[in-house]
Amino acid sequence: MSTISDETLATPFATEEFRERLRDLPPSAKLVAKVLEDEAPLSQGQLADASLLPDRTVRYALNRLEDSGLVESRYSFTDARKQVYFLST
């Protein structure tokens, strides 16, 4: 029987480096990161719905998170026209 270490279960929020880079970002970016921690991967529209933030604010938050290296994106498997976002590990 294999066991799973605490490190395997740790989210990026658990690391001090992640939290330090997130600390200086605006509240909207922190909220988007928290939503992604619980529900990733999500599209920009799904993030706007889940966070109750306007699309423009979500776009700004994602740009800030990507510039900080905290969020990555890829094309959606279900709709190649859309990108989905997830926390960097």
Q: Which of 71, 72, 58 is nearest to 26 (CA)?
A: 58
3-class secondary structure, 75: strand
* pLDDT given for residue 21 in this prediction: 92
The domain 12-87 is placed in CATH, from the list 3.30.230.10, 1.10.10.10, 1.10.3210.10, 3.40.50.620, at 1.10.10.10
Q: pTM for the complete prediction?
A: 0.83
For 1-89, list the strands marked E by DSSP.
Answer: 42-43, 71-75, 83-87
* pLDDT given for residue 41 in this prediction: 94
Mean of pLDDT values over 62-71 = 96
**Quick one: tokens of 13?**
């929020």
N- to C-terminal Cα separation, the chain: 26
pLDDT in tens, 11-62: 777 789 999 999 999 999 999 999 999 998 999 999 999 999 999 999 999 9
Name the band, by pLDDT with cuts 50, 70 and 90, for residue 1: very low
Name the residue ranges covered by the structural domains of the chain.
12-87
